[in-house]
Each structure stands twice: as structure tokens, then as C-alpha cells.
Amino acid sequence: MNHSVLCYLEDTVKKYPNKIALTDATGDITFAQWRNMGLCLAEEIRRKNHKRAIPVFVYLPKSAMSLVAFVGVLYSGNYYTPTDVKFPFEKAKSIINALEPQVIITNRECAKKLMDGGIPSDNMIFVEDVDMTRGNLDSSLYLDTIIDTDLAYVLFTSGSTGVPKGVSIAQRSIMDYIDWAIHEFQIDETTIIGNQAPFYFDNSILDIYLCMSTGAHLHIIPEMYYAFPVKLLNYIVEQKINFIFWVPSALIGVANSGLLETIDCSCLKKILFCGEVMPNKHLNIWRKFVRAEVYANLYGPTEITDVCAYYVVNREFEDDEPLPIGKACKNTQIMLLDDQDNLITTKDAMGELCVRGTGNSVGYYRNPEKTMQAFVQNPLHNNYQELIYRTGDLAHYNEYGEIMFDGRKDYQIKHMGYRIELGEIETAILGIEGVQNACCIYNENVSEIVAVCKASENLTEMEIRKKLVNILPKYMIPTRYYLMEQLPLNDNGKINRKELKKHIMEDA
Amino acid sequence: MSEIMEILSELRPECDFRSSTNFMEDGLLDSFDVVALVDAFERAYAIKIDALDILPEHFISIDAMVQLIKKSGGAI
């Protein structure tokens, strides 16, 4: 009986101990090594803190070692939270504050940044100090204590007040997701995955756990390659990558480069994407030059374990047509609810997309208030407790009965695949001395975040930007800045976002 | 030249490009920046940079960027 995602790893190690599991810029790791290194690390974690079900912060550069750390944390009976070491310290600090990790797995170089920021080193484990060469360790003592409702990870997403929200995901949710994906996309040991998603981003869950459970080979493609399409495509061809699950921005960049026409990427058989709207304009370029077996549009927020709906592209689309998000994954139900919480079953009526199923998160980490707002009793009955997740996304059914995504109810945006609350950027800008008011607008036409600020006379746009790079990750930094003497207000005295947006769209 | 420096310091105001001999190796530019730079150069010089020329070696210094813009038909 599979009661942990680690059961999948144990099975794979039995079948393919010496097959390469992970490849990064520094080399390869086999499935047996992955497991054994993880177990060595688990021992070290237990030595540091013998408790179970404690939060462990993984602060390492994106690499195979990060995935060893994840497995180590899971074997130790705990759950992990990764972040990007390239983010400003403030971002890491806000996650540490929300998570209060009992153990931090890092290396000496990255730890310096944390220690300089005042994070004590006594609960840190430095991976270079851990002997990970021992083999054939017994995992049963660890495994027997894990059950599938134990947390596996907490991933933090943007929160409108500037405090990140930790989405807590249990082991069974990953297993449910992976079981569906293996079956739906026929993943096995011959699959060679080209990973794009950062490990703090839930799209990576599919890459990591498909590899772990099927014996597929996972290539952690160097992040820099995504800026250099020639290098990226050559890597795919050389490594014979046949499966990718990328954020649309990465696929759009490649389509725009024009290189698909000249570089033969026919090794790619399965091309999946998720994280934001994939324009057919760019997908059509891909479909024209790469005759993959499967193109699939996946949809879902972090709160339901990455994906709850999917559409396997099965017909032609005009460049300006929207792509469906399709139907619910197996063992998941999607309900479109109208303003009165009635279930929508007819076509064209728009409602909020809500999700029920094993994939649902158990809530926001140490945040019962936000949890209660988003995870609510199924409004269609009151017979027993059944929580559904309200995504805040709007959708409708088309003539084929497929779900079509219609945008957000609030100020959350998707920019380069990242989920961002404009309020979080506004909070950061308002925190800068001299700024009196601020409003952020997203210009979807050119994919730009625009900041409109009211500030004291001596503050320049450049200075605001310079301050922001120390607070926010790069993908959240506005591209354009406007300084105004007064922000336009609506009748309620609130910032008139509609009017600002109109100006900005015209100006661009 | 000064225009490129202006674009760079707008993009990464916190970085000192003058004291670096290799922007890529010194970690002054990451993949986000390269994508933004290509876009900014194409706008500023009304050029289209060939994807085959978008390689790390063309972004290591101001000189390399000047060569890239010239190669792409920009007046600089």
C-alpha cells in the first residue's frame, strides 16, 4: 500500500537502481544514489531535531542537491519549503517568518546571506558537511511512521498584504496528481523530462515526482538557457528530451525566436504547459514545426496541487482563439458556481471555478483566517463536512462542454507564469520612504507591470525601482513607472483602477 | 555606448557595470535581464536581433553588446 510519495521512490530504486534519475550542470545522480543520499540527510535532520512533522526550509541553488534535500526531509518525516536563493533576502525572510522552520538545509555559501540577515545558524545543516556516500541504508524505520495525510511541502505564494501565503500539501495529494499524470500521459522509464519550473513553483511537482515514480530521467536545464534559445534547443536535441512541462512564457520565447524552423526538435513527443494563458498564436508555431504526439494545456492553482483541469489539444485553432482548459482531472471535480452559489451546467454562463478532491490543500500554513475564506463547505449540500477550494478564477463551458478560463475576480495576475498579487507590489512600494500612494496595473497586451505612484518631489522613478529590487523578486518588479501628483479616485474615494488602466493601455 | 549604459542601469540600478569585465560570469545579468535587454535593444535601435545571435558571449560587456547591435543593423 502506498502511504507516502517515498513508496514510489522505493519501488523505482528496486527496478532501476543504477539508472540515471537526475542530471544538472554538475553531473548525474542515479535512483539508488538519490535515495541513499536522502536517507543520509534524513539521519542528519533527525540528529538536529528528533521531532516529526516539523517544517524544514531548503535554501539551496536549484540543483539535483535540492531534490536530494526534499527526499531527505520526507524520509525524516517532515515537510519542506524551498525558495530561490537569488531572491532578495527580504523575500526569504518573509517566508522564514511565516514558516518558522526548525531546520534549514543549505550550503555554506548560501547560508552566509541568511546569517548576514540575522538568521541564527544553530539549526542549519550544510550539505557539504554531510557524508552522503553510505549505501544500502534501511528506510523502513522512517517509512513506517509516515501516513498519506502528513504534509509533504508548503509552497509560498504572493499575498496581497505582502505576507506570503503558505499552501500546505499532503503526501496523498501528490500521489493523486502523479497517478493521474502517469496514466493520462503514459509516462514510463523511457521518458526524458526537460525541467523548466523552479522548485519553489508548483509546476515542478510534476517533473520531480513523475521522475521519482516511473524511473524517468529528469534534466534540470540550467536556468540561464531560457534566455538563450539556441542553447536551450540544442540541449533538448542533444539530451533527446521527449517530455516538457513548461510555463507558456518559456514556450512563447522559443516560438518567437524563429528557431523551431531551423533546429529539428522532433525528439519532443509530449509538450505540456501550465501556469498562465497559452496564446494559440505561439502554440500554432510550435504545432507547425514540432509534430509532437501530445500538446496539453493544464490548469490549476497551487492550492489543488498544481493541476485540476486539462485539455489535450485535439483540433485546429485560429491564432486569436482562446485555448480551453478542458475538463477535470480524474478523481477531481470542478464546479462552476454562480453569484448565488448555484451549480452552472449550461454553456456560456460564467461562474467561479471551485474544486473538490484529494488534490486540495489542507489550508494555508498557520493562517486559519485565509484558509476559511478559500476552503469552504461545499455550498451544494450540508450533510457532512466537505471542503471545496474557491479559486477566485472565472470560467464558463463552451459548446463542446469544455471549460474556458475567463480571468480573475480580484487583483491577482499571472506574469511570466508567476502568480502575483498586485497588492503585494503596492505594499512594497508604499513601504518606501517618500511614497504617499501607489497603484499597480497589469498591461496584458505587452505583459508589463506598471506602477503609478504619488511621491515626494525628490524621489525619482529610478530610486523607487532601486529600492524595490532589494525587497521583491525580479518577476515582481514593475517594468514602467509613472509619478503623478494625484492618483485618480472613484466616487468611493478609492483609487480608480479602471481609469488608470485605460490611460496606461493607451499610453503603451 | 552611453545609451547602452543607460539601459543597463535602468534594468539593474543596483549593479556597478563599470567595474565588471564579464557581466555574465560576475552574475550582474540573469536570464530575465537578457530577455529584457534584447527587447530594450530592439526598441531603442529599431532592430531585430537574430535568435542565433542571442548567446551569452554577446552580453558579457558593453563592447560585446555594441557589436551585437551593429551586427543586427543598428546605428551605434
Show which of residues 309-328 on chain A sit within 8 Å of chain B, judged by CB atoms. none
Residue in B closest to A416 by C-alpha? B32
Query: A108: pLDDT confidence band, cut at 50, 70 and 90?
Result: very high
Q: What is the DSSP annotation of A64-114?
A: HHHHHHHHHHHHTT-EEEE--TTS-HHHHHHHHHHH--SEEEE-HHHHHHH
Task: Compare CB distances from A475 to B10, B32, B52 and report the shortest one's residue.
Answer: B32
Of B13, B30, B56, the CB nearest to A469: B13
Which of B54, B57, B59 to probe by mutation at the A interface, max A CB count within 10 Å? B54
Find chain B residues with C-beta within 8 A of A228's C-beta: 34, 54-56
Q: Is residue A79 part of a domain?
A: no
* B65 vs B74: CA distance, rounded Å: 11
CB-CB under 8 Å, A224 with B31: yes
Residues A387 and A266 in one domain: yes
For chain A, what is the domain count? Answer: 2
pLDDT band at A135 (very low <50, low <70, confident <90, very high): confident
- A192 belongs to a structural domain: no
A109 Cβ under 8 Å from any chain B Cβ:
no
- The Cβ of residue A166 has, within 10 Å, a number of other Cβ atoms equal to 25
In a domain, A341, yes or no: yes
Domain end call among A410, A441, A474: A410
Contact A170, A152 (CB under 8 A): yes
Whether residues A228 and A364 share a domain: the answer is yes
- pTM (2 d.p.): 0.92
Tell me, yes or no, whether A358 and A485 share the same domain. Answer: no
Q: Are residues A238 and A351 in the same domain?
A: yes
Both A311 and A385 in one domain: the answer is: yes
Q: Give CA–CA dist A295/A93, Å, rounded.
A: 39
**A392 in any annotated domain:** yes
Q: Are residues A403 and A474 in the same domain?
A: no
Distance CA(A458)–CA(A364), nearest Å, equals 41
Q: Do A474 and B32 touch (CB under 8 A)?
A: yes
Q: Which residues of B touch A465 (CB under 8 A)?
A: 10, 13
CA distances from A500 to A161, A408, A440, A494, A504 (A): 21, 18, 9, 12, 6
Beta-bridged to residue A408, according to DSSP, are A393
Q: Which residues contact A181 (CB under 8 A, 6 or more apart)?
A: A187, A206, A210, A307
- Check CB contact under 8 Å for A227 and B13: no
Nearest by CB to A258, which of B12, B51, B56?
Answer: B51
pLDDT in tens, A258-270: 999 999 999 999 9
CATH code for position A316? 3.40.50.12780
Minimum Cα–Cα distance from B48: chain A residue = A257
Tell me the C-alpha to C-alpha distance, in Å, between residue B52 and each of A237, A258, A259: 16, 9, 8
- Among residues A287, A290, A300, A330, which one has the least CA distance to residue A185? A330
Q: Are residues A444 and A370 in the same domain?
A: no
Asked whether the beta carbons of residue A230 and residue B31 sit closer than 8 angstroms, the reply is no
Which of A259, A469, A475 lies closest to B51 in CB terms?
A259
Chain B CB contacts of A230 below 8 Å: 51-52, 54-55
Query: Which range marks the domain in which residue A347 is found?
Result: 221-410
Segment among A11-20, A123-132, A408-417 with least mean pLDDT: A408-417
Residue at A429 is within a domain: yes
Q: Residue range A82-110: average pLDDT?
A: 96
Question: Touching check for A1 and chain B: CB below 8 Å?
Answer: no
What is the pLDDT, as a whole number, of residue A335? 98
Q: Which strand ranges, in their side-by-side order, compose the sheet holding A270-273?
A: A27-30, A20-24, A217-220, A192-195, A243-246, A270-273, A294-299, A309-312, A327-328
CB atoms B14 and A229 under 8 Å: no
Shared domain check, A325 and A233: yes
Q: By the CB < 8 Å criterion, does A231 face chain B?
A: yes
Minimum distance, in Å, between the CA of residue A364 and any CA atom of chain B: 30
CB contact under 8 A, A230 and B13: no
**Which CATH number covers residue A461?**
3.30.300.30
The answer to whether A384 and A400 are in contact (CB under 8 A) is: no
Identify whether residues A251 and A321 lie together within a single domain. Answer: yes
pLDDT of residue A13: 98
Picking from A410, A436, A468, the residue at the C-terminal end of a domain is: A410
Q: Are strands A375-377 and A363-364 parallel, antiparallel or unpaired?
A: unpaired
Per-residue pLDDT of A46-90, as tens digits, reads 999 999 999 999 999 999 999 999 999 999 999 999 999 999 999
Q: Are residues A276 and A399 in the same domain?
A: yes
On whether both A364 and A232 belong to a single domain, the answer is yes
Given a cut of 90, is residue A97 above it in pLDDT? yes
Q: Which among A362, A387, A410 is the end of a domain?
A: A410
Q: Is the pLDDT of residue A438 over 80?
A: yes
Size of interface A-B (CB pairs under 8 A): 51
In this prediction, residue A169 has a pLDDT band, given cuts at 50, 70 and 90, of very high
ipTM of the complex: 0.89
Q: How confident is the model at residue A319 (pLDDT cuts 50, 70, 90)?
A: very high
Same domain, A226 and A368: yes
Tell me the three cell numbers of residue B68. Answer: 551585437
Comparing CA positions, the residue from A378, A379, A396, A399 lying closest to residue A387 is A378
Judge: B34–A228 Cβ closer than 8 Å, yes or no.
Answer: yes
Q: Which residues of A touch B12 (CB under 8 A)?
A: 469
* B32:A227 CB<8 A: yes
